[in-house]
Amino acid sequence: MAIISSEINPNSELFRANQEQYEELLALWRSRMKVATSGGRPALLERHQSRGKILVRDRIDRLVDAGTAFLELSPMAAWGQYDNELPSAGIVTGIGIVSGYSCVIIANDATVKGGSFFHETVKKHIRAQEIAEAQRLPVLYLVDCGGAYLPEQDRVFPDRDHFGNTFFRQCQLSAAGIPQISVVFGGCTAGGAYIPALSDQVIMVEGNARIHLGGPSIVKVAINEDVDGETLGGARMHTTVSGVNDHLAADEEQALAILRDIVADLNMERRDITPLNPIQKPLYDPAELIGVINHDKKIPYDAREIIARLVDGSAFQEFKPEWGASLVCGWAKIHGQPVGILGNNGALFSESSLKGAHFIQLCDQRNIPLLFLHNITGFMVGTEAERGGIAKNSAKMVYAMSTARVPRLSLVIGGSYGAGNYGMCGRGFRPDFLFAWPSAQVATMSADIASNVMLELRRSKQADGDVPKEELDEIEKSVRDQYGTQSDPYYATSRLWDDGIIAPEQSRDVLGLCLTLVRSTPENDKFSPVYRM
């Protein structure tokens, strides 16, 4: 592999200006990240802890192996929605190492609306289960929730990808030999009760944990029985009488310790993909990435400059560098794991599409995961392009990408517009992981182009070609507002269009974690389901 030689001068004015501008994006990202990962209001945090309960991310810190990574997914889900009172959508999901095994962790945050399920909560929950299924990771549910958020029930309950689907997936995962284990920390009513009830193994914390299909108030209304919550569904009752629970824990620390103990003996194995050679850091500091990306979107930058700051030793074996130059393709390693990278250097032409399709097939044949670095306005338009068969040639790339059997990762670093988003493995193509930078923009097209398109459409409807200026201004403003709002990366991450916004500097590590994970996923096998008795 050749080592990429950077053309960028970190002391140049442009670099510094870029850095300064991006630093503002990062400041915003940090402040929002802090809010999103701090749970509910201080009074609620205090009340939670006064009950002997541990905060959700603290539970995860205590659960995962000390000194190992936890890859939290979509921490800014629901950002800006529900008056911004639903940090992380009330649920923390991610991948961590527990007793040496990679596991998916799904943990309710009871300090956020009592841990109840909103639309994004469900979506995040399902996304984590989807990853567990794809990567064959045991799922550890840290349950502390009151079921569906009733005022939003039409967006939570009835549809195919709503709450019911989480339970369907739980059964399917278990049946596929992927352990489902729950620790119940608080009250689990109605839907919440099914998370533990459908788990292979359950741990309940004495005093705080409750499982009941109907709580005391519903019981009173339904059958006029007066009963307190502890008698109805307390941990001790479920351990010694109903058998709903398998392990009784005196407190949360012990519950988490029991969970670690159970995971230690799950007998799950992953493929050993340990690199043979020592890992080399990039020759160029990933911290420089924010100076590489031009703040002015009209000034292009070379995808190789990004790649040089992501890959081991900045070494890159480029494929077809002299042909289809607007798509940079080549092989590299990240944290020792092989990866085939596709990065945009402008719009996709027929040649670059064909090159991309060819490259994807090579990676598929060689069992090398794909990484798409999105910075694309779209496929080329115009007579020349159409006459050159851009429609079928771009489709070849989309087709190759869609049917590749190797793991696919996407990182949206800049714009990801229209069919370009399709060709580069957008969310609709189910990449194994998709992360975005604070500079990302995902939409059918940019606000500039969209407003011009709409103005052109309006003008073409007017026979005499004279549309009042006020109307055109009104159209432009509304289209720009819509595209501006909706292509904002926080709008996207709030709706789970990605697995989270990460700082450019974190990208190498995040990709390394993901590649190590997806490459170690074992082949599917036959396992037995567990029927709770």
User: Taking the complex as a whole, how short is the minimal distance between the CB of residue 129 and another protein, in angstroms?
Assistant: 20
Our CB check for another protein shows the closer of 86 and 501 to be 501
User: Taking the complex as a whole, how short is the minimal distance between the CB of residue 37 and another protein, in angstroms?
Assistant: 5
User: Taking the complex as a whole, how short is the minimal distance between the CB of residue 437 and another protein, in angstroms?
Assistant: 13
Q: Which run of H or of E encompasses 72? A: strand 70-73
Distance CA 74, CA 92 (A): 8
* Among 14, 97, 134, 325, interactor with another protein by CB under 8 A: 97
Q: Is residue 223 part of the contact set for another protein (CB under 8 A)? A: no
Strands 327-334 and 315-319: antiparallel
Q: Is residue 250 part of the contact set for another protein (CB under 8 A)? A: yes
Binders of another protein among 381-410, rule CB under 8 A? none
* Among 4, 8, 33, 56, interactor with another protein by CB under 8 A: 33
Q: Is residue 256 part of the contact set for another protein (CB under 8 A)? A: yes
Q: Compose the 146-165 pattern: x for residues touching another protein by CB under 8 A, - for all others.
A: --------------------
Q: Is residue 75 part of the contact set for another protein (CB under 8 A)? A: yes
Structure tokens at 482: 């819509």
Q: Is residue 310 part of the contact set for another protein (CB under 8 A)? A: no
CA nearest to 306, candidates 318, 291, 324: 291
User: Taking the complex as a whole, how short is the minimal distance between the CB of residue 434 and another protein, in angstroms?
Assistant: 14
Which residues are bridge partners to 415 per DSSP? 441
CA nearest to 374, candidates 339, 415, 329, 427: 415
Largest CA distance in the chain: 83
Our CB check for another protein shows the closer of 253 and 318 to be 253
Strands 408-417 and 91-98: unpaired
Q: Is residue 107 part of the contact set for another protein (CB under 8 A)? A: no
DSSP string, 171-184: HHHHHTT--EEEEE
DSSP string, 260-307: HHHHHTS---------SSPPPPPSS-GGGHHHHS-SSTTS---HHHHH
Q: Is residue 34 part of the contact set for another protein (CB under 8 A)? A: yes
* Among 22, 70, 82, 163, interactor with another protein by CB under 8 A: 70
Distance CA 188, CA 144 (A): 7
Q: Applying CB under 8 A, which part among 60-68, 145-153, 323-331, 389-397 lies near another protein?
A: 60-68
Q: Is residue 278 part of the contact set for another protein (CB under 8 A)? A: yes
Contact 178, 133 (CB under 8 A): yes
Q: Is residue 206 part of the contact set for another protein (CB under 8 A)? A: no
Count how many residues are written for the chain: 533
User: Taking the complex as a whole, how short is the minimal distance between the CB of residue 375 and another protein, in angstroms?
Assistant: 22
Q: Is residue 222 part of the contact set for another protein (CB under 8 A)? A: no
Distance CA 429, CA 424 (A): 9
Q: Is residue 260 part of the contact set for another protein (CB under 8 A)? A: yes
Contacts of 11 (CB under 8 A, 6+ apart): none
* Among 56, 71, 363, 440, interactor with another protein by CB under 8 A: 71
Q: Is residue 11 part of the contact set for another protein (CB under 8 A)? A: no
Q: Applying CB under 8 A, which part among 177-185, 237-245, 253-261, 286-294 lies near another protein?
A: 253-261
Q: Is residue 140 part of the contact set for another protein (CB under 8 A)? A: no
Contact 327, 345 (CB under 8 A): yes
* Among 12, 20, 24, 30, interactor with another protein by CB under 8 A: 30
Q: Applying CB under 8 A, which part among 70-78, 348-356, 413-421, 453-461 lies near another protein?
A: 70-78
User: Taking the complex as a whole, how short is the minimal distance between the CB of residue 113 and another protein, in angstroms?
Assistant: 21
Sheet strands (E) in 144-192: 180-184, 187-189
Q: Is residue 336 part of the contact set for another protein (CB under 8 A)? A: yes
User: Taking the complex as a whole, how short is the minimal distance between the CB of residue 516 and another protein, in angstroms?
Assistant: 6
CA nearest to 348, candidates 410, 317, 393: 393
Our CB check for another protein shows the closer of 229 and 336 to be 336
Residue type at 155? R
Q: Is residue 253 part of the contact set for another protein (CB under 8 A)? A: yes
Q: Applying CB under 8 A, which part among 63-71, 211-219, 313-321, 365-373 lies near another protein?
A: 63-71
Distance CA 213, CA 497 (A): 33
User: Taking the complex as a whole, how short is the minimal distance between the CB of residue 365 and another protein, in angstroms?
Assistant: 25
Distance CA 172, CA 176 (A): 6
Our CB check for another protein shows the closer of 106 and 510 to be 510
Q: Compose the 484-513 pattern: x for residues touching another protein by CB under 8 A, - for all others.
A: ----------------x-xx-xx--xx-xx
User: Taking the complex as a whole, how short is the minimal distance between the CB of residue 453 and another protein, in angstroms?
Assistant: 36
Q: Which run of H or of E encompasses 501? A: none
DSSP single-letter state for residue 413: E
CA nearest to 189, candidates 209, 214, 164, 167: 214
Contact 306, 413 (CB under 8 A): yes
Q: Which run of H or of E encompasses 160? A: none
DSSP string, 329-381: EEEEEETTEEEEEEEESSSB-HHHHHHHHHHHHHHHHHT--EEEEEEE--B--
Distance CA 415, CA 427 (A): 14
Contact 145, 114 (CB under 8 A): yes
Q: Is residue 135 part of the contact set for another protein (CB under 8 A)? A: no
Our CB check for another protein shows the closer of 183 and 347 to be 183
Q: Is residue 279 part of the contact set for another protein (CB under 8 A)? A: yes
Q: Give contact residues for another protein (rule: CB under 8 A).
A: 26, 29-31, 33-34, 37-38, 57-58, 61-62, 66-72, 75, 97, 99, 102, 250, 253-254, 256-258, 260-261, 264, 274-275, 278-279, 335-336, 500, 502-503, 505-506, 509-510, 512-513, 516-517
